Amino acid sequence: MAELGAGALEISTLLLAAGVSPRVVMDILGHSQIAVTMNIYGHVMPAMQQEAAGHMDAALTEPETGHGADE
C-alpha cells in the first residue's frame, strides 16, 4: 500500500464516514490489527451507528398500506 502520510487521518475519517468497512480502512492504512484502526478512528463510529439505527428502524417499520381491518 502507498504511504498516506499526513493525510491518513482525513482520508480514513472520510472513508469510514462514507460507510467503508473498518476492516478495509485497516488494510488501506496497513494496520496489523483492527484494534489499532478503531482506537485511532473510533470517533467516527457513533455517527455510523446512528445512521445504521435509522436504516434498521426504516426496515422494520411497516408502511401504512390502507388495507387495514377498518376498511
pLDDT confidence of residue 3: 60
Distance of CA 63 to the CA centre of its chain: 26
Work out the number of other CB atoms within 10 angstroms of the CB of residue 52: 12
Alpha carbon distance 3, 14 (integer Å): 17
pLDDT for residue 45 is more than 90: no
Q: Name the residue with higher pLDDT: 41 or 61.
A: 61
Place of cell 500500500: 1
pLDDT for residue 71 is more than 60: no
Q: What mean pLDDT is predicted for residues 13-34?
A: 90
